[in-house]
Chain A
Amino acid sequence: MTTHTAFVLNGQPVATEVRPDTTVLDLLRDHLGRKGTKEGCAEGDCGACTILFRRGGDAEAPMLAANSCIMSVAQIDGGEIVTVEGLAGEGAVLNAVQDEMAKNGSSQCGFCTPGIAVALTGLLARNPDPDEGAIHDALAGNLCRCTGYRPIVDAAKAAAARVRIEPAPAVDENLVTSHTDAGGATAHRPRDLRGLLMLRRDHPDAVLLAGGTDLGVPLAGYETRWPETITTGHVAELRRTDTGDDHWTFGAAITWEEVLDAVGQDYPSFATLIRRFGSTQIRSMGTIGGNIGTASPIGDGPPALIALGATITLVSLEDGERTMPLENFFLDYRKTQLRADEVIASVTVPRAKVGETMRTYKISKRYDQDISTVCGAYWLAMDNGTVADIRIAYGGMAAIPTRAPNAEAALRGKVLTPETAREAGKALAADFKPLTDWRGSAVYRQRVAANLIERLARDVAGETVEVMAL
């Protein structure tokens, strides 16, 4: 029996019967006639498809920019979407962002423009007075090939304090379902952990879908289909953050945007890394559990979390919970400890303590929204000026994100100086055998991974070590 997916689009309730593994972009363009939202890349990187989104059950949450190209209909039930056609609200033609963009020469070919107007509206509705850095953060997920961005940034400044998003009526709860069947595909949307685990046990082949920022790419490329999906985004237990005095426990479906809000005070360097992690569009959908579960060798979350000594809790119906250090979770390329009947329940991250230092450095071809060539993460406990304890973890250096025991050993008990750091960098040669690919050669990776330890020493000593700090 065909069942629908219900959501609010530009303030109006919509019930659609398309397959739940249809992308939201295709739903908007091909089924609902909203042609303002564009496909530029179908991999969540260019932002031409940007919409504002609030998931079902998160009525208090802000509407955040998201990439409709890699979002599936399975994820929007009970949620709310604003497209470029809905930015100005009823009756109005342009909102302040759109008006300033039109006046400022912020568009040339215009193809990226709707996505940019949406992304900036999302920013200004949340932050009426953004500084330049916040504007760049908001634009990190939007590429413009024509303008050189200056007039876009100027338009954002000019529109500050004049943008709001009209509140929309909530989706009629009677229309919200925990299950959609349409066109031969099924989406299950469990509301609690037990429901999730039962589905996981009963449908071991189903795609377990968190934010979809990784899994959604082949879907958007029409390279795969998901006959059966189980989404985690509505599972109450997975959407919780427990903040203690000495730790946070993030439910697996906590998004990186939410992690960013939590960790920024304790770990500014980690927050900087998270801000470079995809874009607002990606962080508003991508989850901490998904980033770990997808087990990419170049994911930016795991190195930092391993350096911080995070633990991960897995859960199944059969065996209940088991908790392990995150570094033990990864086994080999895209292989983890997660069993077919298990899900990631949560990640526990120690909070900052006096005497400890944490830094992360990400090397990529572009500062914003790029995938790491090398990502280094460092945690140090100092005692009388010497390194009492240390954890160094890297992404991009091996098939899995992993620690660098030789480099750590070279620094333990030493005073951290550029010289000792260079020695540790030499020791790092025994820790990794990186690959050559389009992000960088093996030689470069090895060299930079070593040099980043020198950067750490200089950084901790108070030197300016990054060109972006200038």
Chain B
Amino acid sequence: MNEHVQPVHRAVVGKGIAHDSAKKHVSGQAVYIDDMADMPGTLHAALILSPVAKGTLNGVDASEAAAMDGVVAIVTADDIPGHNDIAPILSGEPLFAEKALDYVGMPVGAVAAETFEQAVRAAHAVQLDLTEQTPVLDIEEAHARGDHVIAPQRLVSGDVDAALEKADRIVEGRLEIGGQDHFYLETQIAYAIPGEDGDMTVHSSTQHPTEVQHHVAHVLGGFANAVDVQVRRMGGGFGGKESQATIIACAAALLARKTGRPVRMRLKRSADMSATGKRHDMVSKWRIGVTDQGRIVGADVEYLARAGNTADLTGPVITRSLTHTDNAYHFPAARFVGHACKTNTVSNTAFRGFGGPQGVITSEAMIDQIARELEMDPNRVRAINYYGPDTGETTPYGQPVEQNRLVEVTDLVLQSAQWQHRRAEIDAHNATDPVIRRGLAMMPVKFGISFNLPSLNQAGALVHVYQDGSVHLNHGGTEMGQGLFVKVAQVVAEVFQLDIEAVKITATHTGKVPNTSPTAASTGSDLNGMAAFKAATAIRDRMTPVAARHFDVPQDEIVFREGRVHAGNRSISFAELARMSWAERVSLSEAGHYATPKIHWDGKAMKGRPFFYFTYGAAVAEVAIDTLTGENRCLRADILQDCGASLNTAIDLGQIEGAFVQGMGWLTCEELWWDDKGRLRTVGPSTYKIPGSRDVPPDFNVAILESAPNAEETVFRSKAVGEPPLMLAVSVWLALRDAVASCGEPGLSPNLRTPATPEAVLDAIDDIRARSA
């Protein structure tokens, strides 16, 4: 068994060590890209955006803008020396519009000026000669017209039609699932610095430095080896700085190339929310066959997803919706189909959960509807449909459900939340209160960890040990606040048995670790932690013989512990061993590489084992709704999340709480609202409402599942944590449904769209009352 599986002694890993930048955050000393000192000659840049949702661009009149104070350069598609294409997967997704204007906020060009204010004012002054056309804004209309950005995806297992035919009853439903803006506090930004020989250094607030590197190179008409992308930290990412960061970085680099001066581009919040993609809003529709006992026998589920104007990452987002439509439940026969509808709205993109949330909420909506129509306890319907722990049941895409902890996590959370007692209490309340109704719900989440695309499941790390025993750590993961850097540093410190302070955390840098995967899909610590583990272990394994020779003992008697290297009761400091190793001409540097084992995926057949492992969680939420206004509130939430053997309990707890609250926002208060011209009218926090501190459940109990090391050989047997708990917020929406259901006759299932704003809740109450009458 490998040492990372069963370490003898854990000094650093597993501890609740604070975020490495915590003191810098609270004192304002952490440097974000906009805080970096201007290099001499630095220009500031802003995007020129399309004012129409659909049109033909006949020309750009920049004469007025060019004459404005401080304006140095204006670029459009014509100024691109290389390819005007920044598609992350496919092709034909332009940096700047050429002829076709496809959404309000589509970048048409960019302005560089001496100050940011001058750039923004000049960008607004650029006149576009355009012919406006009628946009397609509605996803169902787009679907009906056959407007899609990619072909439909079909995940099929068993004979669905036969199963539905034989079912005792058919349950049919439909759900409108809202989108979500990332609302990272730091808007998109990049700082491009031209060098000699056409080199370009780009400081980019991105989750995907390699994609930025490649697109900058190709937009400039050069090679990736001329572009160096660096990321010290982002002020939040959540998926929004995966593919979208390339827009900003490429525009900055183009202006830097044109002017020969450093260019910093950032987006004002309204420009950021107009120009960059969001979580896909979707409509899901289902026909499920069930037995009279509530057992699912087959399901036909269809998603219409708003791709927006291009594909971007919509394909894999839909794949994840389809592969999470089962959530925790066994579907003996399934036909899950996803359509990527092309609309004249911003191209939607990655967002924490990456299609998984839309799949999970659809799954839970189906279960809740079955329970209500059969007048059964929803948790009973869940339990009888859970994947069995030992039945060998596989997902519709063919992966066995291993390490199945569904019963464990749901039983534990029902217990800690005092379900029975509170269920009775709430039912009693609802029987008498004329206005305020309460709701209670539990739900599990099973989430697959790994990128669906096998090639992305790899990572590199670079570790140096210097002669004074200090350690330099670099890897391909990026820090967006999630605590990846401290977790990976813990891994390296653990290998060398050093204090965490001995490990220098450094900015992600494509020149140090190349061909990085995006920090996404919750895989940051799994992949980069393991790559760093391998690099550090290789160095330590080269240092061990040096120590053995020094002490004249066999290698297996050498023990690294507490910053020293021991042989029996003799020891030297780690620094002394580092110096000795150098003197003996032993390499103290290593590039580690890790590729996730076991995974494979046939994207055409939609079969395989896309996920290295599953992670499990469960939540109970209680809400209250006001039946006069639809106002609603989550009063209590109890969460239990599987983190395997957590690398850092404090960081993981923060991820769980933060993800849950972000998920609550998605499902309750965060509403994207477009007008009939296709203009997003919620482009700032005054109109787009993310949760505030008072929206967090006043009784908020969050726990990490104990004694649950990952059965797979992940780094120190940990599990990924970034995305799964976001979906636990579906419990809040289910509790809202429960409260709405109390306003109608038994046997009726509420129709509650998301986000469940006060208006949506009141509509659902009206609807169920009308059906009861």
A residues in contact (CB < 8 Å) with B:
26, 29-30, 34-46, 48, 83-85, 87-88, 93-94, 97-99, 101-103, 105-114, 117, 132, 135-136, 139-140, 142-153, 217, 221-223, 361, 363-371, 373, 418, 437-441, 444, 447-448, 451-452, 454-455, 458, 463-468, 470
A363-B758, A366-B689, A440-B759 are known contacts. Are A467 and B694 too (CB-CB below 8 A)? no
Interface string of B181-199 (1 = CB under 8 A from A): 0111111000000000000
The answer to whether B28 touches A108, judged by C-beta atoms less than 8 angstroms apart, is no
Give Cα A48–Cα B483 distance, bound, in whole angstroms.
20
Least distance between A278 CB and chain B CB atoms (Å): 10
Chain A residues lying within 8 Å of B22, measured Cβ to Cβ, are 101-103, 105-107, 110
A369 touches B762 (CB 8 A): no
- A111-B235 in contact given A37-B28, A447-B762, A452-B629 (Cβ < 8 Å): yes
Check B654 against A110 for contact (C-beta < 8 Å). no
Q: Which A residues are CB-close (under 8 A) to B483?
A: 108
* New A-B contacts (15) at CB < 8 Å, excluding given A107-B26, A149-B696: A38-B34, A40-B185, A45-B686, A107-B22, A109-B185, A109-B234, A111-B32, A111-B186, A132-B698, A140-B694, A146-B658, A148-B654, A152-B693, A438-B682, A444-B759
Jot down 11 A-B pairs with beta carbons below 8 A, ordered by A: A103-B18, A105-B22, A110-B22, A146-B482, A147-B657, A366-B669, A366-B695, A368-B694, A373-B759, A438-B681, A467-B633
The CB with the most chain A CB atoms within 10 A, among B24, B685, B687, is that of B685
- Are B24 and A110 within 8 A (Cβ)? yes
CB of B578 within 8 A of chain A? no
Query: With A441-B759, A467-B436 in contact, is A145–B23 under 8 Å at CB?
Result: no
Q: Does residue B651 face the partner (Cβ distance < 8 Å to A)?
A: yes
Q: Label chain B's interface by main secondary structure.
A: loop
Cβ-defined partner of B117 (8 Å) among A146, A222, A467: A222
Among A43, A109, A135, which residue has its beta carbon within 8 angstroms of that of B481?
A109
Q: Which of B379-387, B620-628, B704-712 contacts A (4 or more CB under 8 A)?
A: B620-628
Complex alpha-carbon distance, A361 and B435, angstroms: 15
Q: Are B26 and A136 in contact (CB under 8 A)?
A: no
- Max chain A Cβ within 10 angstroms of own Cβ: one of B233, B434, B625, B691: B691
> How close is B42's CB to chain A, nearest CB, in angstroms?
12
Contact call B685/A114, Cβ cutoff below 8 A? no
B121 contacts A by Cβ under 8 Å = yes
Among residues of A, the one whose C-beta sits closest to the C-beta of B680 is A438
Distance of A364 Cα from B658 Cα, bound (Å): 23
B115: which A residues are within 8 A, CB to CB? 30
B544 CB → nearest A CB, Å: 36
Interface string of B21-54 (1 = CB under 8 A from A): 1111111111110110000000000000000000
A423 to B236, CA, bound (A): 50
Could you tell me if B626 and A466 are in contact, using CB atoms closer than 8 angstroms?
A: yes
Enumerate B203-236 residues with CB–CB distance to A below 8 Å: 233-236
Are A107 and B25 CB-contacts (below 8 A) given A35-B35, A45-B684, A153-B693? yes
Min Cβ gap B452→A in Å is 26
Q: Mark B656-696, 1 if CB is under 8 A from A, else 0.
A: 01111110000001010100000001101111011111111
Supposing A107-B25, A463-B435 touch, asked if A366 and B691 sit within 8 A by C-beta, the answer is yes
Contacts of A361 in B (CB 8 A): 629
Contact of A38 (CB < 8 Å), options: B23, B186, B630, B695? B186
Most chain-B Cβ atoms within 10 A of its Cβ — which of A94, A107, A373, A418? A107
**CB <8 Å contact, B21 and A110:** yes
Contact (Cβ within 8 A) A455 B435: yes
Q: Given the interface contacts A26-B117, A48-B185, does A465 sit within 8 Å of B695 by beta carbon?
A: no
Question: Which residues of the partner chain A approach B31 to less than 8 Å between Cβ atoms?
Answer: 35
Q: How many angstroms between the C-alpha atoms of A367 and B757 in the bound complex? A: 11
Q: Given A105-B653, A145-B236, A148-B660, does the pair A40, B29 have CB atoms closer than 8 Å?
A: no
B124 at the interface (CB under 8 A from A): yes
Q: A43 vs B272: C-alpha distance in the bound complex, in angstroms? A: 14
* Chain A residues with CB below 8 A from B331, complex form: none
Asked if B635 CB lies within 8 Å of chain A CBs, one says yes
CB-CB nearest in chain A for B755: A365
Report B-chain residues with C-beta under 8 Å of the C-beta of A418: 434
Query: Which chain B positions have C-beta within 8 A of A135?
Result: 693
A38 to B626, Cβ gap below 8 A? no
B628/A454 in contact, CB under 8 A: yes
Question: Which of B27, B30, B435, B654 is the one whose CB lies under 8 Å from A105?
Answer: B654
Bound complex: CA of A35 vs CA of B35, how far in Å?
Answer: 6
Give A219 Cβ to nearest chain B Cβ, in Å.
10
Most buried by A among B268, B270, B434: B268
List residues of B (735-760) whose CB comes within 8 Å of A's CBs: 757-759
Q: What residues of A have a CB within 8 angstroms of the CB of B29 in the complex?
A: 36
Residue numbers of B with Cβ under 8 A of A are 18-19, 21-32, 34-35, 115-117, 120-121, 124, 182-187, 233-238, 268-270, 434-436, 480-483, 624-626, 628-633, 635, 650-651, 653-654, 657-662, 669, 671, 673, 681-682, 684-687, 689-696, 698, 700, 757-759, 762-763
Tell me which residues across on chain B come within 8 A of A146, comparing CB atoms. Answer: 236, 481-482, 654, 658
Query: How close is A392's CB to chain B, nearest CB, in angstroms?
Result: 16
* Residues from chain B with Cβ under 8 Å of A103 in the complex: 18, 22
List of B residues within 8 angstroms of A45 by Cβ: 684-686
What are the nearest 3 A-B pairs in CB distance?
A36-B28, A109-B481, A111-B235
Cβ contact of B238, chosen from A145, A463, A466, A468, cutoff 8 A = A145
Q: Please measure, in the bound complex, the distance between the C-alpha atom of A33 and the C-alpha atom of B121, giving whole angstroms.
A: 23
The 8 Å CB contact of A139, one of B121, B481, B662, B693, is B693
Chain A CB within 10 A, most for which of B25, B658, B686 = B25
Do B692 and A140 touch across chains, with their CB atoms under 8 A apart?
yes
Residues B628 and A108 in contact, CB atoms below 8 Å apart: no
Residues of A within 8 A of B182 (CB): 145
Chain A residues with CB below 8 A from B270, complex form: 221
Asked if B692 and A366 sit within 8 Å, CB to CB, the answer is: yes
A84 to chain B, nearest CB (A): 4
- A145 CA to B234 CA, complexed, in Å: 13
A102:B435 contact, CB within 8 angstroms: no
Q: How many angstroms from the CA of A454 to the CA of B626 in the assembled complex?
A: 12
Task: Name the residue on A nearest B270 (C-beta).
Answer: A221
- Are the C-beta atoms of B27 and A84 separated by less than 8 Å? yes
The listed residue (B187, B233, B762) touching A448 by CB distance below 8 A is B762
Candidates A98, A102, A112, A373; contact of B18 at CB < 8 Å:
A102
Other-chain contact of B186, A30, A40, A440 (Cβ < 8 Å): A40
Whole-angstrom distance between the alpha carbons of A115 and B436 in the complex? Answer: 36
Does A109 contact B628, Cβ atoms closer than 8 Å?
Answer: no
A370 contact set on B, CB distance < 8 A: 689
Give the contacting residue for B19; candidates A107, A221, A454, A465; CB below 8 A: A107
Find chain B residues with CB under 8 A from A84 CB: 27-28
User: Which interface residue of B23, B651, B658, B659 has the most chain A CB atoms within 10 A?
Assistant: B658
**For the complex, what is the distance from the CA of A369 to the CA of B23, rounded to whole Å?**
28
Contact between B629 and A38 (Cβ–Cβ < 8 Å)?
Answer: no
CB contacts (< 8 Å) of A438 on chain B: these are 671, 673, 681-682, 687
Asked if residues B684 and A43 are in contact (CB atoms below 8 Å), the reply is: yes
Q: Which chain A residue lies CB-closest to B653?
A: A105
Chain A residues whose C-beta falls within 8 Å of the C-beta of B633 in the assembled complex: 367, 467-468, 470
Question: How many Å from the CB of A441 to the closest CB on chain B?
Answer: 7
